[in-house]
C-alpha cells in the first residue's frame, strides 16, 4: 500500500462517489476515536514488543501496557 500524504488522502476521499462517503466517514470517525486513548504510538508498541521478547525478565502483557499508559497519560 503506498504511503499518502494527508492532502492526497483527502483528495481521494473527495473523489469517492457520494453514496460511499457516509460509510468512509464513519470508519474515519471510529479510527479517530480509537486513536485518542486506545492506540499506542509505534515507539510505544516497539518498546512493549522488546520487553515481551526478553527471555530473562518476563512481564505480563497487561502489566507492560498499564505501565506505558501510566507513563504517557496527560
Q: Does the pLDDT of residue 38 top 60, yes or no?
A: no
Assign 42 a pLDDT band (cuts: 50, 70, 90).
confident
> In sequence order, which residues have a C-beta less than 8 Å from that of residue 72 and are 6 or more positions away?
40, 44
The yes-or-no verdict on residue 59 having pLDDT over 80 is no
64 located within any domain: yes
Residue 58 confidence (pLDDT): 64
Cell of 41: 504510538
Question: Residues 33, 48: one domain?
Answer: no
Number of domains in the chain: 2
Residue 37's pLDDT band (boundaries 50, 70, 90)?
low
Residue the block writes with cell 516497539: 46
- Looking from the CA of 23 toward its CB, the CA atoms found within 13 Å total 5
Alpha-carbon Rg for the chain, nearest whole angstrom, is: 18
| pLDDT at residue 71 is higher than 80 | no
Identify whether 61 is part of a domain. Answer: yes
Quote the pTM value: 0.43
Domain range for 26 is 6-37
Amino acid at each position: 500500500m503506498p504511503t499518502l500524504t494527508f492532502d492526497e488522502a483527502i483528495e481521494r476521499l473527495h473523489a469517492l462517489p457520494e453514496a460511499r462517503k457516509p460509510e468512509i466517514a464513519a470508519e474515519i470517525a471510529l479510527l479517530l476515536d480509537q486513536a485518542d486513548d486506545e492506540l499506542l504510538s509505534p515507539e510505544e508498541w516497539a518498546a512493549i514488543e522488546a520487553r515481551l521478547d526478553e527471555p530473562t525478565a518476563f512481564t505480563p502483557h497487561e502489566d507492560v501496557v498499564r505501565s506505558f499508559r501510566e507513563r504517557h497519560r496527560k
